[in-house]
């Protein structure tokens, strides 16, 4: 029933996404190559999204609304990485992960790793980093593993540098969300952080794995955060960056 409701809500949001396309086109000009903006071709994205509470169903709908209308992008959706097809790079240039799952088969994990290492783009959101916590390979792909979280409360998210690409120009903002803390691997580039106990805690980072690109956003526990304009802009630009150069 929840999947049917989500499908109906997503179908309803597509027309609204089309009305936002011109606005998003100009905002993404800082990230997408000029030739892709002038002569857009379909970049196929597979969203792997699941849950009614964590992540919230409305949050999943807002994620799809944030991404719909990106120029030259088209989206399909499945509920589990176990449904990831063989050789996904043949059909998709990017994957989006927004779920909280406990286990994954070795075959599915290896398909995910191969996709990224061979040049695919990956955007992972919030609870994706709390999934498959016993899998060292998943930790390596994302560049961070969930360690703990504080209460749901307001906190400030600050950019590392205002001119930092691909997120240049997005200012500091406050969000009401669950503050995730991670064990991170070397090689991550932190783009946004918050301060916890006088130390910077990464909220958005990017990394490269083989020929592929990975972007992770720790925000997204609450409906409010997933609907926040700056969070949605980060998700769009993160996905666009991750898919640059994907065949």
pLDDT in tens, 155-195: 999 999 877 889 999 999 999 999 999 999 999 999 999 99
Extract the residue ranges of the chain whose pLDDT is less than 50: 1-33, 35-37, 39-40
pTM of the predicted model as reported, rounded to 2 decimal places: 0.84
Q: Is-contact 124 95, C-beta < 8 A?
A: no
Query: Do residues 190 and 164 lie in contact, with contact meaning Cβ atoms separated by under 8 Å?
Result: no
CB 233 within 8 A of CB 27: yes
How is the beta sheet containing 43-49 ordered, strand by strand? Answer: 73-78, 43-49, 94-98, 121-125, 212-217, 199-209, 189-196, 144-159, 173-184
């Amino acid at each position: 029933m929840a999947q049917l409701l989500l499908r109906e809500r997503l179908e309803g949001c597509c027309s609204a996404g089309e009305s936002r396309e011109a606005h998003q086109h100009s905002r993404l000009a800082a990230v997408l190559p000029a030739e892709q903006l002038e002569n857009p071709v379909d970049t196929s994205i597979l969203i792997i999204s699941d849950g009614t509470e964590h992540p919230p169903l409305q949050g999943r709908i807002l994620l799809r609304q944030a991404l719909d209308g990106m120029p030259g992008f088209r989206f399909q959706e499945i509920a589990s990485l176990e449904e990831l097809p063989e050789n996904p790079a043949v059909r998709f240039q990017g994957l989006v992960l927004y779920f909280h799952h406990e286990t994954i088969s070795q075959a599915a994990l290896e398909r995910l790793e191969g996709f990224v290492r061979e040049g695919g783009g990956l955007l992972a959101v919030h609870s994706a980093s709390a999934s498959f916590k016993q899998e060292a390979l998943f930790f390596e792909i994302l560049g961070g593993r969930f360690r703990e979280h504080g209460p749901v409360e307001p906190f400030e998210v600050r950019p590392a540098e205002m001119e930092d690409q691909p997120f240049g120009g997005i200012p500091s903002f406050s969000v009401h969300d669950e503050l995730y803390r991670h064990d991170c691997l070397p090689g991550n580039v932190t783009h946004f952080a918050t301060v916890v106990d006088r130390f910077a805690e990464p909220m958005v980072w990017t990394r490269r794995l083989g020929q592929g690109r990975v972007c992770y956003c720790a925000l997204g526990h609450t409906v409010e955060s997933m609907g926040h304009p700056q969070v949605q802009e980060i998700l769009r630009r993160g996905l666009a960056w991750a898919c640059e150069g994907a065949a």
